[in-house]
Amino acid sequence: MPLCTLCKTIPFNLFSSGRKEQCSLAHHENVLALEASAAAGCPMCAVMLGAMRRRADQDGHLRNTFGKPVDLSKQVQLRSTKFGQQWVCVEWADVGSLRGIQVPEGWEDGLVAAPELSESSNPSREVGTLKWWLRTCWEGHEACKKDFDSSYVPSRLVDVHGSETGTVRLVLTKGAVMEDKRYVAASHCWGLSMPASAKTVAANLDQHTTSIRIEDLSRTFADMIEITRNLGVRYVWIDSLCIIQDSRADWEAEASQMAAVYSNAYVTVAASGSSDGTGGCRLGESKEVHVGPADLTWEETSDDQNGVTSSARTIRVFGQPNIQTVNVLMQDPLIKRGWTLQERELSPRVVHYSKDSIRWECATLKATLEFPWEDKLPFNMALRAFDMGQIHPQEEKATYYDDADVQKNALVWYEVVERYSKRSLTKQSDVLPAISGIARYFAKQTGDAYHAGLFASHGPMALTWKVQGEWQKEAEKSERSRDYLAPSWSWASVKGTVDWFNKRDGSRPIDSTFTPEILEMSTEPAGNDPFGMVVGGRLRIRGLFVLAAALWREEDNLQADERSIMVTGPDGLRKVGNAIFDVPSEACEVVFCFACRREEEYGWIDALALVPSGELDASTQFKRVGLIRSKDKSWWEKAHRIEITII
């Protein structure tokens, strides 16, 4: 349908992200006129009106930021901020938002499915777009296929052949004849409402290999089965159905295969917008779903020595109730769960079913249902760690301070751990198993040795993690589990958000006097998986060791988990640094300080805060309780260089 007279006058630069000033454009004289134009067939007016309706409250009223009703008789305006955001306004009140991206030259909507103007989901368009993304990736993205093993299949898969009759079945793949080994991998939140019939246990294993009624599964599983069938793929891997849930041995064996399951999937379907199995993988009639599209086209002519030439630029516009933020993907429930980090990081291709859109990511392309050719905005603050930095093979004896590849790999690993530690686990005992797939993949790529969340080649640098204090918005109060999860020198021993102060300082010169020698780093696995649970671990290390007081002083303006490190001087106690305790309840007044590194340029010293382990006949055995930071190296002059063991 043609644009109305007013929409034809919208300037191209209204949707420019490079604007340096705000711009406003008067539109229809009131909302009634906007409604009439939309009813007459103007797609842009329909998009603007749809965004406003999404913004309205349950009674259908539009309200301004102060909660007062908007006067619909006032002028409708389009407003663009200098940050490239577009608002629909009535007088001065923001009542909806727009987002427009230029359509690339040569783009054909028929590649995916014609984007009809709509305020609700369009299943045929969704399937068509997903098929196009998959075809584009498989046929043209070499970077997305470099580690793919087409011969791999998980030990069990759900066969969706015949699912149109209402049933599927579990297939044991060993020895099975499979003409097409492609499979879809599912990523979802279990929640608290997982039906018993959606789990495979020893008692129903035989039944599941014969038949599983789709109506007995969760809505999310039913949707994933339908998506798999629509893609022309026969198999889907769903954890609760493909792992025997009441068998510890089977769980450990299958958990050790997570890296292979997700890294070799045809595509991973993520129910990102659902906190449990009831949400499904569909957009439905949610208010967050985009309204649109409307295409705005500007004809341009140029006159040169070859004569007059003409060209056209088109902006595709969708409406939403509110401005889309750059961290929109991070707000999805699935992104907040611990197990799902490795599912996303390891998958070569992921399609996210969020509440407001369907999003695609692979190593080469980031896109959305609205802008299938490319849409990077939702991923700007949510790039996968493996997309941010390449993992490099390492020389066998390479170490952090003498090898640039080790430093680059460490930076990627620390980014993974920091993101992981912000996520939630239903069972804290899963802290190592839930990241074991990434750890196994990382070890395979680098050839490095892995111990309870740390890699050996990172050396003392790996030990300098800290727990973010309660003042950090993203951090929750840290705690250490009563059950043994990891040695105290591993971040996995603490429930809390962790980071590395100095993770980007690898190339800076260090003072080798403060660098300890790691004599032994070892862990004892709880089972057969060296990347899974552990029941013990020890670190034998030789370096500078000194005693200090860790005191709370009102004048130091400390956080709950901090103490001032004090040593004796000529005039009594003097402050030389701060201790950040891993768990506030473990704060103590006397700590043993063990130096880990000193960076020469700025002089920062990182040291472990230790306490005796308390075991008999273990005078040189300690446990970590925190990290010390200091710029004063004079107090280390009285330190002794000794060998200790940290457990």
* Whether residue 370 is found in the same domain as residue 418: no
What integer pLDDT is reported at residue 363 of this predicted model? 92
378: three-class secondary structure by DSSP:
helix
Residue finishing a domain among 388, 417, 435? 388
| Token output for 105 | 């030259």
What integer pLDDT is reported at residue 472 of this predicted model? 46
Longest dimension (CA), the chain: 93
Residue 98 has pLDDT above 80, yes or no: yes
Residue 531 in domain: yes
* Whether residue 565 is found in the same domain as residue 620: yes
Residue 419 has pLDDT above 90, yes or no: yes
Residue 369 in domain: yes
* Whether residue 624 is found in the same domain as residue 523: yes
Model confidence band, residue 33 (pLDDT cutoffs 50, 70, 90): very high
Residue 307 in domain: no
User: How many CB atoms neighbour CB 408 within 10 A?
Assistant: 17
* Whether residue 276 is found in the same domain as residue 365: yes
* Whether residue 558 is found in the same domain as residue 457: yes
Residue 119 has pLDDT above 70, yes or no: no
Residue 474 has pLDDT above 50, yes or no: no
* Whether residue 65 is found in the same domain as residue 186: no
Angle at 401 between CA 395 and CA 402, to 5 degrees: 45
Residue 293 in domain: no
Q: Which of 122-126, 187-191, 266-270, 639-643 has the lowest mean pLDDT?
A: 122-126
> In terms of DSSP bridges, do strands 562-569 and 534-551 run parallel, antiparallel, or are they unpaired?
antiparallel
Residue 120 has pLDDT above 70, yes or no: no
* Whether residue 422 is found in the same domain as residue 356: no
The number of domains in the chain is: 3
Which position has the token pair 């079945």?
Answer: 169
Contacts of 364 (CB under 8 A, 6+ apart): 137, 140, 141, 143, 144
* Whether residue 378 is found in the same domain as residue 503: no
Residue finishing a domain among 362, 388, 414? 388
Cis peptide before 487 (omega within 30 of 0): no
Residue 637 has pLDDT above 50, yes or no: yes
pLDDT digits (tens, 9 = 90+) for 314-363: 999 999 988 877 678 888 999 999 999 999 999 999 999 998 899 999 99
Angle at 285 between CA 280 and CA 290, to 5 degrees: 105
Residue finishing a domain among 361, 388, 415? 388
The reported pTM is 0.89
Average pLDDT over residues 301-316: 79
What integer pLDDT is reported at residue 475 of this predicted model? 43
* Whether residue 427 is found in the same domain as residue 482: yes
Contacts of 347 (CB under 8 A, 6+ apart): 185, 187, 262, 263, 265, 267, 268
Model confidence band, residue 18 (pLDDT cutoffs 50, 70, 90): low
Contacts of 314 (CB under 8 A, 6+ apart): 102, 103, 295, 296, 297, 298
* Whether residue 93 is found in the same domain as residue 213: no
What integer pLDDT is reported at residue 129 of this predicted model? 94
CA-wise closest residue to 491 among 537, 452, 448:
452
Provide the residue range defining the domain that includes 474.
400-646
Cα 288 to the center of its chain, rounded Å: 21
* Whether residue 79 is found in the same domain as residue 152: no
Pair 242, 157: CB distance under 8 Å: yes
pLDDT digits (tens, 9 = 90+) for 215-252: 999 999 999 999 999 999 999 999 999 999 999 999 99
Residue 302 in domain: no
End-to-end CA distance of the chain: 71
Residue 113 in domain: no
* Whether residue 220 is found in the same domain as residue 240: yes
| Token output for 520 | 């032994």
